[in-house]
Amino acid sequence: MTIDAFVKKYVGGIDYDGMYGKQCVDYVNAYARDVLGVKNAFYGQGIQYAYQVFANYEALPYVKEHFIRIANERTNYPLRGDVVVWNKSATSKAGHIAVVLGATEHTITVAEQNYDGKGGVRTYTYGNYNNVLGWMRARDAKPNKPTIQAGETVKLKCRAKLYNANSAQSGVRKISDFSKFDCAAEAVIKRGANFKADKVVTKANKNIWLYNKQYDGWICAYEYAGDKSKLA
């Protein structure tokens, strides 16, 4: 599942553990499961409050196995897909945690839950990094690498060449022969088009390919070496 698909799916929020209502940690646990493929990433392990995900990192072996902790040093900023953690404050003894949608040195845009203490969900841009402890980044994470499941429909943010899997027409090679996205194609799927991924294949070079029955062809959805996603 892509980050955008996740945000759309959980616009009404989620109570991940079925306890205490829709908390901010519930939202990032669902994100880690659905987008990063890490189940119960920040669940249990002695984690009672959001800030502990960052503050207690050294005592959380499961978190350490799947995430790198990066401190907020005010000279760096998180990447899209990171999980940002705020410290506890006078108004919040639990701190806060959210999914990063984008950031600069001075602002951070997130998808978050329970920002209002009532389980509310929103995307929001903070104008500063006040009380931000830092962020968690999935190990070997690529900021533009999508996580896609078979049957999911995605939108193209750029043109994508369509390759036929079963013929040699127009010099097209079979998908099993592909290592690079540089051979002739039979057609081009336009920018903004919806593409249903009836099959999803990750090649040895870690590029991600999608097959669509309607087109009877494949597109390269993600190029690992250049960290280039073609999906919105």
pLDDT digits (tens, 9 = 90+) for 58-68: 999 999 999 99
Q: Is 126 found in the same domain as 12?
A: yes
**Domain end marker among 138, 166, 197:** 138
Output the pLDDT for position 172. Answer: 47
pLDDT in tens, 154-179: 999 898 888 876 544 444 455 555 55
Q: Taking the complete model, does pTM exceed 0.85, yes or no?
A: no
Q: Which two tokens stand for residue 89?
A: 């404050």
Q: Is 127 found in the same domain as 68?
A: yes
Q: What is the extent of the structural domain holding 174?
A: 153-229
Mean confidence (pLDDT) of the chain:
86
What is the DSSP secondary structure assignment for residue 169, as one 8-state letter? Answer: G
Q: Is 123 found in the same domain as 69?
A: yes
Summarize the confidence of residues 17-41 as an average pLDDT.
92
pLDDT in tens, 101-132: 999 889 999 999 999 999 999 999 999 999 99
* Domain count of the fold of the chain: 2
**Domain end marker among 78, 113, 138:** 138
**Domain end marker among 138, 163, 180:** 138
Is 148 part of any domain?
no
CA 225 → CA 180, 181, 202, 220, 229, distances in Å? 10, 11, 13, 13, 11
Q: Which residues contact 187 (CB under 8 A, 6 or more apart)?
A: 161, 162, 215, 217
Q: Is 163 found in the same domain as 86?
A: no
Output the pLDDT for position 170. Answer: 41
Burial 8-43 (b: 16+ CB within 10 A, else e): eebeebbebeeeeebbbbbbbbbbbbbbbebeebbb
Q: Is 170 found in the same domain as 126?
A: no
Give the pLDDT band (50/70/90) at residue 199: very high
Q: Is 106 found in the same domain as 171?
A: no
Q: What share of the chain has pLDDT > 90, as a percent? A: 52
